[in-house]
Amino acid sequence: MTMEQLSKDQSKTRQWEQALNLLYVNFRDYSKETLRTFDSEDIHQARVNSRKLLTLLSILDPQHTSGLYPVFKQAQKRLGKVRDADVLIDSFKSRRKLAKEDGDTRTAELLEAVIKHQKDKRKTYRKKLAEELPKLTGKDLDGLWNDFLSGQLEGLVAKRDANVVMRELEVAFEQKKKACKTIFQQNAESTEAFDSLHQLRIAAKELRYTASAAAFTLNQKFHAHEEIYKNIQEQLGLINDKRVWLDTLNSIGRAELDIGKKTWNTFTSTLRAEVLDALHQNDVVHIADKTK
């Protein structure tokens, strides 16, 4: 190896170390704030930074030999439970406000019941997060992290190329998109179709986060991918969110919420129509209009 090549490799390793350390510090700081106040933005940022760390670790160490991946994955899972509850509660609060403004007191009561139910759920998620996050972000993690940077990083950087990973993710996304289109041609409103769309959303998310987290080492042709796949993820995410909210309502049940049958049927029908509208409005996987 020439001195020029050695210098280039060391520079590349430093780039990776700086990028990883920034995400790690952010993850630790936002996690600390999360445990202090459970602020929704702190939770969101802790989750985003853990997701980016998982992305970069998947590029460098796909076999997860460092022991870091499962730690960040568990943290992301616990953060995600609280974050999803926050999003649902905020959305239903907005709906409740509109229902009150329209004088629709029964729908407002239904939404209030769902909000109360989800707040109780969130208390459980917050408790588990408060119990587990300190263990996942303590001195043991610092030790694993420092060992990874000093012992494994340079060798892994020399072997792995984020550009190759991006291309593989692109191919996987297109394959999932093709499979999704095939299912949608058969029955666009089936459970299988929605599950396929959910998998496509996950593939778009992987591309988005890889383009963002690994931007410092990616070729120019990939620099627009973060925005491209963010748009795709958001469209598919809107469908998924509404579907999850409908599934959440059905899993709770009308009796648990003590809501009249007419009010329940009207609201769930409205939400179901929103799911289908978002499905037909998306431009990622074209849905044929059967009325034409």
The angle at the Cα of 213, spanning 237 to 233, to the nearest 5 degrees, equals: 15
Instruction: Say whether pLDDT at 113 is over 80.
Output: yes
> Region 232-245: what's the mean pLDDT?
92
DSSP at 103: T
pLDDT band at 145 (very low <50, low <70, confident <90, very high): very high
pLDDT at 9: 57
Q: What is the Cα–Cα distance from 106 to 115, expressed in whole angstroms?
A: 14
In terms of C-beta distances under 8 Å and separation of at least 24 residues, what long-range contacts does 89-98 make, across chains too?
A: 89/115, 89/118, 89/119, 89/122, 90/40, 91/241, 91/245, 92/118, 92/245
Task: Give yes or no for residue 246 having a pLDDT over 70.
Answer: yes
Range 197-216 average pLDDT: 95
pLDDT band at 10 (very low <50, low <70, confident <90, very high): low
- The more confident residue out of 42 and 283 is 42
Across the chain, what does the average pLDDT equal?
92
The pLDDT of 73-82, averaged and rounded, is 96
Q: Where are the alpha helices (DSSP H) in 160-224?
A: 162-186, 191-213
Percent of the chain residues topping a pLDDT of 90: 85
When mean pLDDT is compared across 14-23, 120-129, 185-194, 236-245, the lowest value belongs to: 185-194
Number of CB atoms found within 10 A of residue 239's CB: 24
- The model's confidence at residue 74, banded by pLDDT at 50, 70 and 90, is very high
pLDDT band at residue 286 using 50, 70 and 90 as cut-offs: confident
- The average pLDDT across 35-52 equals 96
Residue 2 has pLDDT above 60, yes or no: no
Helices (H) and strands (E) in the chain, counts: 11, 0
Query: Concatenated DSSP letters for 109-164?
Result: HHHHHHHHHHHHHHHHHHHHHHHHHHHHTSHHHHHHHHHIIIIIHHHHHHH--HHH
Closest CA to 71 of 55, 50, 52, 56: 50
Q: How high is the pLDDT of residue 291?
A: 46
Q: Is the pLDDT of residue 187 over 90?
A: no
The predicted structure's pLDDT at residue 188: 80
pLDDT over 60 at 4, yes or no: no
pLDDT of 57 reads: 96
pLDDT for residue 3 is more than 90 = no
- pTM across the whole model: 0.89
Helix (H, G, I), strand (E, B) or coil at 66: coil
